Amino acid sequence: MHKNPTYLIKQEAYRLGFEYVGVSKAAFLEEEAKNLEEWLKRGYHGQMHYMANHFDKRLDPTKLVDGAKSVVSLLYNYHTTAQQSDAEAPKISTYAYGKDYHFVLKKKLKTLMQFIQTEIGEVNGRVFVDSAPVMERAWAAKSGLGWIGKHSLLINKNKGSFFFLAELIIDLELEADSPIKDYCGTCTRCIDACPTDAIVGNKIVDGSKCISYLTIELRDALPNEFANKMDNWMFGCDVCQAVCPWNRFAEQHQEPAFDPHPDLLKMNRREWQEITKDVFNEIFRKSAVKRTKYEGLKRNISFLNQKK
């Protein structure tokens, strides 16, 4: 059996369905520290107060795992060509079509962690799926899985950006991968297409203007300045990814858990406007849409019908 731990971990991750796996040394993220501080200072996190918490933990993996040596970054494809059948229906981001990715990926990561402890030895660590203060895009870029696009999302040269990101932070020294260059060039399609002008600079998103933030994170009433600017999104937004030229390489995911409830794509505009709590609970039983709750989704849908 191949004894190289880096190789073993990557092979097992591929077996579990992760498309790309990269490794970086667990060290303080200096450049990101400056950027995060500036971003917070400008109030771009809106009401996502948790973004200002655990500043040190976000930037230093050894504060999350004692003696951390390596950060293993993993990408899991969620791209789909399936679309809602009514073009007038309020839209939902494709990442939320199926079962909540937190559950799906966490289970796989725990299996990977068990594999490491069984096959490699006593290794301590933690698994993360968008669930703790981890700068996941920065780590993925450091480990060569892609580069950060102008819309601030990670872009993979072979398959685009429709990926969930996950990490293992472990106290085992692995062979680190190298970052790759930025291939956005002079393209500004994502900046030009953003319905609320939320991309305010290269790789800088004013979160408080982002449709995903407004429809999911914001608990208050939606600000009137965004009436008629929501591009008919009721949960999340895929515009900056949809216009990105790199996503012409995106492929259909192979994860049955991410397939939508059969009724989700069939519902027409009127049915969404009249959605009941029972229908909401049935369609979104194990979905990330639960995050916004029935009342939140209703708020978003009625806001879309509002005229400025």
Q: Which residues are marked as active site?
A: 130
Residues 11, 16: Cα–Cα separation, whole Å: 9
- Strands 91-92 and 233-235, by their bridges, are parallel
Task: Say which residues have a Cβ less than 8 Å from residue 271's Cβ, sequence separation at least 6.
Answer: 89
Structural tokens at position 96: 């939320």
